[in-house]
Chains A and B, each alone.
Chain A
Protein backbone atom coordinates (compact mmCIF):
# COMPACT_ATOMS: atom_id res chain seq x y z
CA UNK A 1 0.00 0.00 0.00
CA UNK A 2 1.39 3.36 -1.06
CA UNK A 3 -0.19 4.93 1.97
CA UNK A 4 1.88 2.94 4.38
CA UNK A 5 5.08 3.75 2.54
CA UNK A 6 4.49 7.50 2.65
CA UNK A 7 3.52 7.23 6.27
CA UNK A 8 6.78 5.50 7.04
CA UNK A 9 8.66 8.15 5.08
CA UNK A 10 6.98 10.94 7.08
CA UNK A 11 7.82 9.03 10.17
CA UNK A 12 11.60 8.93 9.70
CA UNK A 13 12.62 12.38 10.99
CA UNK A 14 10.01 12.33 13.72
CA UNK A 15 10.91 8.87 15.01
CA UNK A 16 14.58 9.82 14.89
CA UNK A 17 13.66 12.74 17.13
CA UNK A 18 11.79 10.46 19.53
CA UNK A 19 14.70 8.06 19.78
CA UNK A 20 17.48 10.65 20.01
CA UNK A 21 15.88 13.41 22.06
CA UNK A 22 13.16 11.73 24.11
CA UNK A 23 14.23 8.17 24.86
CA UNK A 24 18.03 8.46 24.71
CA UNK A 25 18.30 11.41 27.14
CA UNK A 26 16.17 9.68 29.78
CA UNK A 27 18.19 6.49 29.38
CA UNK A 28 21.44 8.42 29.63
CA UNK A 29 20.28 10.17 32.80
CA UNK A 30 19.46 6.79 34.28
CA UNK A 31 22.83 5.38 33.12
CA UNK A 32 24.84 8.27 34.56
CA UNK A 33 23.09 8.00 37.90
CA UNK A 34 24.96 4.74 38.51
CA UNK A 35 28.40 6.33 38.37
CA UNK A 36 30.21 8.11 41.17
CA UNK A 37 32.26 11.26 40.66
CA UNK A 38 35.37 9.26 39.66
CA UNK A 39 33.44 7.39 36.99
CA UNK A 40 33.17 4.05 38.80
CA UNK A 41 29.98 2.06 38.69
CA UNK A 42 28.27 2.29 42.09
CA UNK A 43 25.04 2.86 43.91
CA UNK A 44 26.54 5.53 46.13
CA UNK A 45 24.43 8.30 44.58
CA UNK A 46 21.24 6.53 45.54
CA UNK A 47 22.61 5.96 49.04
CA UNK A 48 23.41 9.65 49.23
CA UNK A 49 19.96 10.61 48.00
CA UNK A 50 18.37 8.76 50.89
CA UNK A 51 20.38 10.66 53.50
CA UNK A 52 18.56 13.39 55.48
CA UNK A 53 20.28 16.21 53.54
CA UNK A 54 18.78 15.23 50.21
CA UNK A 55 15.48 14.01 51.60
CA UNK A 56 14.98 17.31 53.39
CA UNK A 57 15.81 19.20 50.22
CA UNK A 58 13.33 17.10 48.24
CA UNK A 59 10.63 17.69 50.82
CA UNK A 60 11.22 21.42 50.99
CA UNK A 61 11.31 21.61 47.21
CA UNK A 62 7.90 19.92 47.04
CA UNK A 63 6.61 22.15 49.83
CA UNK A 64 7.64 25.32 47.99
CA UNK A 65 6.21 24.06 44.71
CA UNK A 66 2.98 23.20 46.53
CA UNK A 67 2.76 26.66 48.11
CA UNK A 68 3.50 28.37 44.79
CA UNK A 69 0.81 26.31 43.05
CA UNK A 70 -1.75 26.87 45.79
CA UNK A 71 -1.22 30.63 46.01
CA UNK A 72 -1.30 30.96 42.22
CA UNK A 73 -4.57 29.04 42.16
CA UNK A 74 -6.10 31.16 44.94
CA UNK A 75 -5.42 34.32 42.97
CA UNK A 76 -5.85 32.92 39.48
CA UNK A 77 -9.33 31.45 39.93
CA UNK A 78 -11.10 34.66 40.99
CA UNK A 79 -9.14 36.61 38.40
CA UNK A 80 -10.15 34.22 35.63
CA UNK A 81 -13.74 34.26 36.88
CA UNK A 82 -13.93 38.05 36.95
CA UNK A 83 -12.26 38.28 33.55
CA UNK A 84 -15.02 36.19 31.98
CA UNK A 85 -17.48 38.79 33.28
CA UNK A 86 -15.76 41.76 31.66
CA UNK A 87 -16.90 43.29 28.42
CA UNK A 88 -13.81 42.88 26.23
CA UNK A 89 -12.70 39.65 27.85
CA UNK A 90 -10.35 38.51 25.09
CA UNK A 91 -8.51 41.82 25.22
CA UNK A 92 -8.17 41.66 29.01
CA UNK A 93 -6.97 38.09 28.76
CA UNK A 94 -4.35 39.20 26.25
CA UNK A 95 -3.22 41.84 28.75
CA UNK A 96 -2.80 39.09 31.35
CA UNK A 97 -0.70 37.07 28.92
CA UNK A 98 1.56 39.92 27.76
CA UNK A 99 3.73 39.94 30.93
CA UNK A 100 4.43 36.25 30.39
CA UNK A 101 6.12 37.17 27.11
CA UNK A 102 8.59 39.41 28.88
CA UNK A 103 11.72 37.40 29.50
CA UNK A 104 11.53 35.62 32.85
CA UNK A 105 15.00 36.79 33.82
CA UNK A 106 14.13 40.42 33.19
CA UNK A 107 11.21 40.07 35.58
CA UNK A 108 13.40 38.42 38.19
CA UNK A 109 15.90 41.22 37.71
CA UNK A 110 13.15 43.82 38.22
CA UNK A 111 12.35 42.25 41.57
CA UNK A 112 15.98 42.53 42.63
CA UNK A 113 15.43 46.27 42.32
CA UNK A 114 11.93 46.35 43.83
CA UNK A 115 12.74 44.18 46.84
CA UNK A 116 16.24 45.61 47.37
CA UNK A 117 17.41 47.39 50.49
CA UNK A 118 16.36 50.83 49.22
CA UNK A 119 13.85 49.51 46.70
CA UNK A 120 10.26 50.37 46.02
CA UNK A 121 8.77 47.79 48.39
CA UNK A 122 10.80 49.08 51.31
CA UNK A 123 9.97 52.75 50.64
CA UNK A 124 6.33 51.71 50.56
CA UNK A 125 6.69 49.91 53.90
CA UNK A 126 8.35 52.97 55.37
CA UNK A 127 5.58 55.18 54.10
CA UNK A 128 2.93 53.13 55.93
CA UNK A 129 5.13 53.21 59.00
CA UNK A 130 6.21 49.57 59.16
CA UNK A 131 9.79 50.45 58.37
CA UNK A 132 12.17 48.84 55.93
CA UNK A 133 13.24 45.28 56.32
CA UNK A 134 15.08 42.54 54.49
CA UNK A 135 12.80 41.33 51.68
CA UNK A 136 15.19 40.09 49.05
CA UNK A 137 16.76 36.70 49.78
CA UNK A 138 13.83 35.48 51.89
CA UNK A 139 11.27 32.73 51.40
CA UNK A 140 8.63 35.39 50.89
CA UNK A 141 10.42 37.02 47.96
CA UNK A 142 11.04 33.64 46.34
CA UNK A 143 7.39 32.58 46.57
CA UNK A 144 6.11 36.00 45.53
CA UNK A 145 8.25 36.16 42.40
CA UNK A 146 7.51 32.55 41.49
CA UNK A 147 3.75 33.17 41.81
CA UNK A 148 4.16 36.36 39.80
CA UNK A 149 5.85 34.45 37.00
CA UNK A 150 3.43 31.51 36.94
CA UNK A 151 0.09 33.18 37.48
CA UNK A 152 -0.68 33.88 33.79
CA UNK A 153 -0.18 30.17 33.05
CA UNK A 154 -2.67 29.32 35.80
CA UNK A 155 -5.22 31.92 34.70
CA UNK A 156 -5.26 30.85 31.05
CA UNK A 157 -6.60 27.26 31.35
CA UNK A 158 -9.07 28.26 34.08
CA UNK A 159 -10.31 31.14 31.97
CA UNK A 160 -10.82 28.79 29.02
CA UNK A 161 -12.73 26.31 31.17
CA UNK A 162 -14.94 29.04 32.64
CA UNK A 163 -15.50 30.53 29.23
CA UNK A 164 -16.81 27.24 27.86
CA UNK A 165 -19.20 26.85 30.77
CA UNK A 166 -22.78 26.94 29.57
CA UNK A 167 -24.48 29.92 31.28
CA UNK A 168 -27.85 28.17 31.25
CA UNK A 169 -26.48 25.71 33.82
CA UNK A 170 -26.01 28.63 36.18
CA UNK A 171 -29.48 29.90 35.41
CA UNK A 172 -30.81 26.44 36.19
CA UNK A 173 -28.93 26.33 39.49
CA UNK A 174 -30.28 29.78 40.29
CA UNK A 175 -33.84 28.85 39.41
CA UNK A 176 -33.60 25.74 41.55
CA UNK A 177 -32.76 27.94 44.50
CA UNK A 178 -29.04 27.38 44.82
CA UNK A 179 -27.17 30.10 46.62
CA UNK A 180 -24.19 31.64 44.87
CA UNK A 181 -21.81 29.58 46.98
CA UNK A 182 -23.70 26.34 46.33
CA UNK A 183 -23.77 27.10 42.61
CA UNK A 184 -20.04 27.62 42.69
CA UNK A 185 -19.32 24.50 44.75
CA UNK A 186 -21.69 22.16 42.95
CA UNK A 187 -21.76 23.52 39.41
CA UNK A 188 -19.00 25.94 38.44
CA UNK A 189 -16.03 24.39 40.20
CA UNK A 190 -16.69 20.74 39.21
CA UNK A 191 -17.17 21.79 35.59
CA UNK A 192 -13.94 23.75 35.49
CA UNK A 193 -11.84 21.22 37.40
CA UNK A 194 -10.01 20.23 34.20
CA UNK A 195 -8.80 23.79 33.75
CA UNK A 196 -7.65 23.85 37.38
CA UNK A 197 -5.85 20.54 36.91
CA UNK A 198 -3.97 21.59 33.82
CA UNK A 199 -3.12 24.91 35.48
CA UNK A 200 -1.69 23.08 38.49
CA UNK A 201 0.29 20.78 36.23
CA UNK A 202 1.72 23.72 34.27
CA UNK A 203 2.78 25.45 37.50
CA UNK A 204 3.81 22.63 39.84
CA UNK A 205 6.35 20.81 37.68
CA UNK A 206 8.40 23.88 36.66
CA UNK A 207 8.13 25.18 40.24
CA UNK A 208 10.17 22.15 41.35
CA UNK A 209 13.04 23.18 39.17
CA UNK A 210 13.33 26.97 39.33
CA UNK A 211 17.05 27.28 39.82
CA UNK A 212 17.48 30.78 38.38
CA UNK A 213 15.03 32.28 40.86
CA UNK A 214 16.61 30.55 43.82
CA UNK A 215 19.93 32.00 42.69
CA UNK A 216 18.77 35.54 41.89
CA UNK A 217 15.92 36.15 44.32
CA UNK A 218 16.34 33.70 47.17
CA UNK A 219 20.12 34.13 47.33
CA UNK A 220 20.68 30.37 47.59
CA UNK A 221 18.59 30.26 50.78
CA UNK A 222 16.01 28.09 49.08
CA UNK A 223 17.46 24.99 47.44
CA UNK A 224 15.06 23.23 45.12
CA UNK A 225 15.66 20.01 43.21
CA UNK A 226 16.39 22.15 40.17
CA UNK A 227 19.05 24.14 41.98
CA UNK A 228 20.68 20.93 43.15
CA UNK A 229 20.73 19.50 39.64
CA UNK A 230 22.23 22.68 38.22
CA UNK A 231 24.79 22.75 41.02
CA UNK A 232 25.89 19.17 40.40
CA UNK A 233 26.06 19.47 36.64
CA UNK A 234 27.55 22.91 36.15
CA UNK A 235 29.41 23.74 39.37
CA UNK A 236 30.68 20.65 41.19
CA UNK A 237 30.69 18.53 38.01
CA UNK A 238 29.29 15.54 39.91
CA UNK A 239 27.08 14.39 37.04
CA UNK A 240 26.23 11.10 38.70
CA UNK A 241 24.59 12.75 41.69
CA UNK A 242 22.90 15.33 39.45
CA UNK A 243 21.53 12.52 37.29
CA UNK A 244 20.26 10.69 40.38
CA UNK A 245 18.30 13.74 41.52
CA UNK A 246 17.04 14.09 37.94
CA UNK A 247 15.82 10.47 38.04
CA UNK A 248 13.71 11.26 41.10
CA UNK A 249 12.43 14.46 39.53
CA UNK A 250 11.39 12.48 36.43
CA UNK A 251 9.57 9.96 38.64
CA UNK A 252 7.81 12.83 40.43
CA UNK A 253 6.88 14.30 37.06
CA UNK A 254 5.25 11.10 35.84
CA UNK A 255 3.43 10.79 39.14
CA UNK A 256 2.01 14.30 38.85
CA UNK A 257 1.02 13.73 35.24
CA UNK A 258 -0.77 10.58 36.37
CA UNK A 259 -2.60 12.49 39.13
CA UNK A 260 -3.70 15.37 36.92
CA UNK A 261 -4.42 13.32 33.81
CA UNK A 262 -7.54 13.94 31.86
CA UNK A 263 -9.77 10.91 32.32
CA UNK A 264 -12.43 11.72 29.78
CA UNK A 265 -10.40 12.27 26.65
CA UNK A 266 -8.13 9.59 25.26
CA UNK A 267 -7.61 11.46 21.95
Chain B
Protein backbone atom coordinates (compact mmCIF):
# COMPACT_ATOMS: atom_id res chain seq x y z
CA UNK B 1 0.00 0.00 0.00
CA UNK B 2 1.81 3.06 -1.22
CA UNK B 3 0.16 6.38 -0.69
CA UNK B 4 1.22 9.00 -3.18
CA UNK B 5 3.10 11.56 -1.15
CA UNK B 6 1.19 14.80 -0.88
CA UNK B 7 2.74 18.19 -1.76
CA UNK B 8 2.91 19.06 1.95
CA UNK B 9 4.92 15.91 2.57
CA UNK B 10 7.27 16.78 -0.25
CA UNK B 11 7.76 20.31 1.04
CA UNK B 12 8.40 19.03 4.55
CA UNK B 13 11.06 16.60 3.35
CA UNK B 14 12.56 19.28 1.14
CA UNK B 15 12.90 21.66 4.10
CA UNK B 16 14.49 18.95 6.26
CA UNK B 17 17.04 18.15 3.57
CA UNK B 18 17.67 21.85 2.93
CA UNK B 19 18.36 22.47 6.61
CA UNK B 20 20.58 19.40 6.86
CA UNK B 21 22.76 20.44 3.95
CA UNK B 22 22.77 24.25 4.20
CA UNK B 23 25.56 24.50 6.80
CA UNK B 24 27.78 22.16 4.82
CA UNK B 25 27.39 24.01 1.53
CA UNK B 26 27.60 27.30 3.36
CA UNK B 27 31.06 26.33 4.63
CA UNK B 28 32.18 25.18 1.20
CA UNK B 29 30.81 28.30 -0.52
CA UNK B 30 32.75 30.69 1.71
CA UNK B 31 35.94 28.66 1.35
CA UNK B 32 36.25 30.41 -2.04
CA UNK B 33 35.76 33.88 -0.56
CA UNK B 34 38.68 36.27 -0.93
CA UNK B 35 37.11 38.54 1.68
CA UNK B 36 38.11 36.41 4.65
CA UNK B 37 34.69 36.38 6.37
CA UNK B 38 31.65 34.11 6.30
CA UNK B 39 29.18 36.95 5.73
CA UNK B 40 30.25 38.95 2.72
CA UNK B 41 31.41 37.27 -0.49
CA UNK B 42 33.95 39.52 -2.17
CA UNK B 43 35.46 37.46 -4.92
CA UNK B 44 36.57 34.00 -5.95
CA UNK B 45 39.91 32.73 -4.69
CA UNK B 46 41.72 29.48 -4.10
CA UNK B 47 44.13 31.05 -1.61
CA UNK B 48 42.63 29.23 1.38
CA UNK B 49 43.21 25.90 -0.31
CA UNK B 50 46.78 26.86 -1.17
CA UNK B 51 47.37 27.86 2.42
CA UNK B 52 45.76 24.63 3.59
CA UNK B 53 47.98 22.42 1.43
CA UNK B 54 51.11 24.25 2.53
CA UNK B 55 50.29 23.93 6.20
CA UNK B 56 52.68 21.18 7.34
CA UNK B 57 51.46 21.33 10.93
CA UNK B 58 47.94 20.56 9.81
CA UNK B 59 49.24 17.82 7.52
CA UNK B 60 50.91 16.13 10.50
CA UNK B 61 47.68 16.43 12.48
CA UNK B 62 45.72 14.77 9.65
CA UNK B 63 48.31 11.98 9.59
CA UNK B 64 48.04 11.58 13.37
CA UNK B 65 44.27 11.32 13.09
CA UNK B 66 44.48 8.67 10.38
CA UNK B 67 47.15 6.63 12.18
CA UNK B 68 45.16 6.69 15.41
CA UNK B 69 41.96 5.73 13.60
CA UNK B 70 43.43 2.84 11.60
CA UNK B 71 45.56 1.45 14.41
CA UNK B 72 42.88 1.71 17.07
CA UNK B 73 40.17 0.14 14.89
CA UNK B 74 42.47 -2.70 13.90
CA UNK B 75 43.41 -3.54 17.48
CA UNK B 76 39.85 -3.00 18.71
CA UNK B 77 38.56 -5.33 15.99
CA UNK B 78 40.94 -8.12 17.04
CA UNK B 79 40.10 -7.79 20.74
CA UNK B 80 36.42 -7.30 19.98
CA UNK B 81 36.17 -10.42 17.82
CA UNK B 82 37.75 -12.53 20.56
CA UNK B 83 35.44 -10.87 23.04
CA UNK B 84 32.39 -11.69 20.94
CA UNK B 85 33.56 -15.29 20.55
CA UNK B 86 33.93 -15.73 24.29
CA UNK B 87 30.65 -13.97 25.11
CA UNK B 88 28.96 -16.26 22.61
CA UNK B 89 30.39 -19.33 24.36
CA UNK B 90 28.90 -18.39 27.74
CA UNK B 91 25.54 -19.41 29.17
CA UNK B 92 22.69 -16.96 29.21
CA UNK B 93 23.19 -15.33 32.60
CA UNK B 94 26.91 -14.69 32.28
CA UNK B 95 26.27 -13.55 28.72
CA UNK B 96 23.84 -10.87 29.88
CA UNK B 97 26.24 -9.61 32.54
CA UNK B 98 29.07 -9.39 30.02
CA UNK B 99 26.83 -7.62 27.52
CA UNK B 100 25.76 -5.02 30.07
CA UNK B 101 29.41 -4.36 30.92
CA UNK B 102 30.14 -4.20 27.22
CA UNK B 103 27.48 -1.56 26.64
CA UNK B 104 28.57 0.78 29.43
CA UNK B 105 31.01 2.65 27.20
CA UNK B 106 28.54 2.83 24.32
CA UNK B 107 25.89 4.62 26.33
CA UNK B 108 28.27 6.72 28.42
CA UNK B 109 28.46 10.36 27.41
CA UNK B 110 31.82 11.23 25.87
CA UNK B 111 32.59 13.63 28.68
CA UNK B 112 32.37 10.83 31.24
CA UNK B 113 34.57 8.55 29.16
CA UNK B 114 37.08 11.35 28.65
CA UNK B 115 37.17 12.44 32.29
CA UNK B 116 37.38 8.91 33.67
CA UNK B 117 40.14 7.93 31.23
CA UNK B 118 42.02 11.08 32.17
CA UNK B 119 41.89 9.97 35.80
CA UNK B 120 42.89 6.44 34.79
CA UNK B 121 45.95 7.54 32.80
CA UNK B 122 47.06 9.94 35.49
CA UNK B 123 46.56 7.25 38.13
CA UNK B 124 48.51 4.70 36.09
CA UNK B 125 51.25 7.19 35.29
CA UNK B 126 50.76 7.07 31.53
CA UNK B 127 51.92 10.29 29.88
CA UNK B 128 49.20 12.07 27.93
CA UNK B 129 49.86 12.07 24.21
CA UNK B 130 49.83 9.56 21.36
CA UNK B 131 49.55 6.45 23.52
CA UNK B 132 46.83 7.76 25.81
CA UNK B 133 44.75 8.79 22.78
CA UNK B 134 45.37 5.46 21.05
CA UNK B 135 44.43 3.46 24.16
CA UNK B 136 41.25 5.50 24.63
CA UNK B 137 40.20 5.01 21.04
CA UNK B 138 40.82 1.27 21.26
CA UNK B 139 38.84 1.19 24.50
CA UNK B 140 35.72 2.93 23.18
CA UNK B 141 35.80 1.01 19.88
CA UNK B 142 35.88 -2.51 21.34
CA UNK B 143 32.22 -2.62 22.47
CA UNK B 144 31.07 -1.42 19.03
CA UNK B 145 32.94 -4.25 17.32
CA UNK B 146 31.48 -6.77 19.80
CA UNK B 147 27.94 -5.51 19.15
CA UNK B 148 28.34 -5.84 15.39
CA UNK B 149 30.05 -9.25 15.43
CA UNK B 150 27.82 -10.94 18.00
CA UNK B 151 24.61 -11.04 15.89
CA UNK B 152 26.54 -12.85 13.14
CA UNK B 153 27.69 -15.45 15.67
CA UNK B 154 24.16 -15.90 16.99
CA UNK B 155 22.85 -16.34 13.48
CA UNK B 156 25.42 -19.07 12.72
CA UNK B 157 23.96 -22.52 13.08
CA UNK B 158 25.81 -24.54 15.77
CA UNK B 159 25.61 -27.60 13.53
CA UNK B 160 28.24 -26.00 11.28
CA UNK B 161 30.75 -26.20 14.13
CA UNK B 162 29.59 -29.70 15.10
CA UNK B 163 29.96 -30.90 11.54
CA UNK B 164 33.48 -29.50 11.30
CA UNK B 165 34.40 -31.18 14.58
CA UNK B 166 32.93 -34.53 13.52
CA UNK B 167 35.03 -34.30 10.40
CA UNK B 168 38.09 -34.02 12.62
CA UNK B 169 38.82 -30.30 12.55
CA UNK B 170 40.91 -28.95 15.40
CA UNK B 171 39.71 -25.99 17.42
CA UNK B 172 42.03 -23.73 15.46
CA UNK B 173 40.69 -25.08 12.17
CA UNK B 174 37.10 -24.62 13.30
CA UNK B 175 37.89 -21.03 14.13
CA UNK B 176 39.81 -20.09 10.98
CA UNK B 177 37.99 -22.24 8.41
CA UNK B 178 34.40 -22.11 9.66
CA UNK B 179 33.65 -19.43 12.22
CA UNK B 180 35.77 -16.51 11.03
CA UNK B 181 34.72 -16.75 7.36
CA UNK B 182 31.10 -16.85 8.46
CA UNK B 183 31.33 -13.73 10.63
CA UNK B 184 33.55 -11.75 8.21
CA UNK B 185 30.79 -9.27 7.23
CA UNK B 186 30.26 -8.50 10.93
CA UNK B 187 34.00 -8.05 11.43
CA UNK B 188 34.21 -5.59 8.54
CA UNK B 189 31.17 -3.69 9.74
CA UNK B 190 32.76 -3.49 13.20
CA UNK B 191 36.06 -2.28 11.81
CA UNK B 192 34.48 0.47 9.72
CA UNK B 193 32.20 1.54 12.53
CA UNK B 194 35.21 1.76 14.85
CA UNK B 195 37.00 3.80 12.19
CA UNK B 196 34.10 6.24 11.96
CA UNK B 197 33.87 6.60 15.73
CA UNK B 198 37.59 7.22 15.99
CA UNK B 199 37.70 9.77 13.16
CA UNK B 200 34.69 11.58 14.58
CA UNK B 201 35.66 11.61 18.20
CA UNK B 202 36.28 14.93 19.81
CA UNK B 203 35.36 14.93 23.48
CA UNK B 204 37.29 11.86 24.63
CA UNK B 205 40.40 12.89 22.71
CA UNK B 206 40.12 16.42 24.06
CA UNK B 207 40.41 15.12 27.62
CA UNK B 208 43.31 12.72 27.14
CA UNK B 209 45.40 14.46 24.50
CA UNK B 210 47.73 16.58 26.63
CA UNK B 211 49.75 19.37 25.08
CA UNK B 212 52.00 18.03 22.36
CA UNK B 213 49.59 15.82 20.44
CA UNK B 214 46.49 16.82 18.52
CA UNK B 215 43.91 15.24 16.25
CA UNK B 216 41.82 16.97 13.62
CA UNK B 217 38.73 17.43 15.79
CA UNK B 218 40.72 18.95 18.63
CA UNK B 219 42.53 21.23 16.19
CA UNK B 220 39.26 22.40 14.60
CA UNK B 221 37.88 23.12 18.05
CA UNK B 222 40.81 25.30 19.04
CA UNK B 223 40.72 27.09 15.67
CA UNK B 224 36.95 27.65 15.91
CA UNK B 225 37.29 29.07 19.42
CA UNK B 226 39.61 31.71 18.04
CA UNK B 227 36.92 32.78 15.58
CA UNK B 228 36.41 32.49 11.86
CA UNK B 229 39.29 31.54 9.63
CA UNK B 230 38.55 30.37 6.12
CA UNK B 231 41.26 27.71 6.31
CA UNK B 232 38.71 25.69 8.25
CA UNK B 233 36.21 26.16 5.43
CA UNK B 234 38.70 24.87 2.88
CA UNK B 235 39.48 21.95 5.17
CA UNK B 236 35.80 21.10 5.56
CA UNK B 237 35.31 21.22 1.78
CA UNK B 238 38.16 18.74 1.29
CA UNK B 239 36.84 16.47 4.06
CA UNK B 240 33.32 16.61 2.65
CA UNK B 241 34.49 15.60 -0.83
CA UNK B 242 36.46 12.69 0.65
CA UNK B 243 33.39 11.62 2.66
CA UNK B 244 31.16 11.74 -0.40
CA UNK B 245 33.64 9.66 -2.41
CA UNK B 246 33.74 7.08 0.38
CA UNK B 247 29.94 7.03 0.53
CA UNK B 248 29.70 6.42 -3.20
CA UNK B 249 32.26 3.60 -3.04
CA UNK B 250 30.49 2.12 -0.02
CA UNK B 251 27.08 2.41 -1.70
CA UNK B 252 28.24 0.54 -4.79
CA UNK B 253 30.00 -2.16 -2.79
CA UNK B 254 26.89 -2.83 -0.69
CA UNK B 255 24.67 -2.76 -3.77
CA UNK B 256 26.90 -5.38 -5.38
CA UNK B 257 27.16 -7.60 -2.32
CA UNK B 258 23.41 -7.31 -1.81
CA UNK B 259 22.83 -8.60 -5.31
CA UNK B 260 25.36 -11.37 -4.79
CA UNK B 261 23.63 -12.33 -1.54
CA UNK B 262 20.28 -12.55 -3.29
CA UNK B 263 21.86 -14.64 -6.01
CA UNK B 264 23.19 -17.18 -3.55
CA UNK B 265 19.93 -17.49 -1.68
CA UNK B 266 18.04 -18.21 -4.86
Contacts and interface: CB of A to CB of B under 8 A. Distances in A.
A28 B120 contact: yes
Interface string B172-207: 000100000000000000000000100010110011
Contact of B221 (A22, A91, A113, A212): A212
A249 B109 CA distance: 9
A234 B207 contact: yes
B115 A10 contact: no
Interface stretch (B5-13, B43-51, B52-60, B66-74): B5-13
Contacts of A226: 109, 111, 203
A214 B147 CA distance: 31
A112 B227 CA distance: 8
A108 to B, nearest CB: 7
A159 to B, nearest CB: 13
B169 interface: no
Contacts of B17: 95-96
A114 B26 contact: yes
Given A98-B247, A102-B24, A249-B109, A32 B119 contact: yes
Q: Which of B86, B123, B207 has most A Cβ within 10 Å?
A: B86
Contacts of B86: 7-8, 10-11, 14
Contacts of A249: 109, 111-112
B115 A111 contact: no
A54 interface: no
Nearest to B79: A13
Contacts of B225: 215-216
Interface string B224-247: 110010001001100110011001
Contacts of B16: 75, 79
Interface string A126-160: 00000000000000000000001001100000000
Contacts of A13: 78-79, 82-83
A110 B115 contact: no
B256 interface: no
B220 A82 contact: no
B12 A103 contact: no
A246 B115 contact: yes
A86 B123 CA distance: 54
A71 interface: no
Contacts of B109: 205-206, 208-209, 226, 249, 253
Nearest to A123: B39
Contacts of B119: 25, 28-29, 32, 239, 243
B12 A104 contact: no
B1 A98 contact: no
Contacts of B118: 233
A23 B101 contact: yes
Contact of A28 (B85, B123, B206, B243): B123
A256 B252 CA distance: 38
Nearest to A16: B79
A119 B228 contact: no
A266 B96 contact: yes
B7 to A, nearest CB: 12
Nearest to A267: B99
A267 B139 contact: no
Contacts of A193: none
Contacts of B26: 110, 113-114, 120
Interface in A220-262: 225-226, 229-230, 233-234, 239, 242-243, 246, 249-250, 253, 257
Contacts of B19: 148
B105 A229 contact: no
B32 interface: no
A59 interface: no
A39 interface: no
30 contacts: A7-B86, A10-B83, A10-B89, A17-B83, A18-B98, A25-B117, A26-B116, A29-B112, A29-B115, A29-B119, A75-B16, A79-B12, A95-B17, A99-B24, A103-B216, A103-B220, A105-B217, A113-B30, A116-B39, A120-B26, A151-B20, A201-B107, A208-B109, A209-B109, A209-B203, A226-B111, A230-B115, A243-B119, A250-B112, A253-B108
